[in-house]
Amino acid sequence: MDDREFALRCTEADKRSWDEFVLRYSRLIYTYIYRTLKLKGINYSSHDIEDLFQEIFVLLTQDNFQKLKTYKARHGCSLASWLRQVVVNHTLDYIRKLKPVVSLDSEDEEGFSLSEIIPADIPSVREDITKKERLEILSECIDELDKEARYFLRLYLHRGLTLEELRRHLKISRGAVDMRRQRILQRLKDCFRKKGFALDS
């Protein structure tokens, strides 16, 4: 079976073919995410690579495998070569959109900002806490979230997707997006409490 026929079988939701695709190309996808981030001098964690890895598979499979269907094997291009380009392009797109820091003050379309979770005047076991310290604590709390929640925040905060764009990207209802956001924010608040900060309910 050539690469074109194999890709077509995957897009037809042939489970055996898709399982083979994942087994065959997962290492390639992971490797090129890592190499592209390293080549561009981007500070990254294993979470960043995992989240981008998940994004690549969402990209390939969303809308009934629309992206994978664009592989035509033109000019003898192998599926591996095509996939490498897809991974590099997506990772570069991620880098271009990546915000250098999480802003506490920027608001979404509903007027929400992270400052609502960690306001500057929160009572603390410390006498004073700087904005930098608050960001460090926020980063620690985000790292403690599960993979799904971190992926949601990456799209929402770093990539700047609106709630409506999140709904379309994740293929869930707007109500489910709002509920997921509130659940994640509550987890972050709980994390701050555990670290010695008393937040208003």
Sequential pLDDT tens for the chain (201 residues): 799 999 999 999 888 999 999 999 999 999 999 999 888 877 777 888 888 999 999 999 988 999 999 999 888 889 999 999 999 999 988 887 765 444 545 555 555 555 544 444 434 434 444 566 666 777 778 888 888 888 888 787 777 778 888 888 888 888 888 888 888 888 888 887 776 654 444
Q: Is the overall model pTM greater than 0.75, yes or no?
A: no
Residue 103 counted as domain residue = no
pLDDT at 187: 87
pLDDT at 155: 81
Cα–Cα distance list, 155 to 48, 123, 136, 179 (Å)? 12, 30, 20, 16
Whether 78 and 14 map to the same domain: the answer is yes
Its domain, for residue 179, covers 114-194
Whether 78 and 124 map to the same domain: the answer is no
Whether 7 and 86 map to the same domain: the answer is yes
Whether 83 and 123 map to the same domain: the answer is no
Whether 13 and 93 map to the same domain: the answer is yes
Whether 132 and 47 map to the same domain: the answer is no
Q: What are phi and psi of 109, to 5 degrees?
A: -70, -15
pLDDT at 196: 65
Extract the tokens encoding 37: 């981030």
Overall number of domains in the chain: 2
Which of 97, 127, 152 is at the close of a domain? 97
The CATH code of the domain that includes 186 is 1.10.10.10
Residue 107 counted as domain residue = no
Largest Cα–Cα distance in the chain? 68
Angle between helices 3-11 and 46-65 (to 10 degrees): 80
Residue 134 counted as domain residue = yes
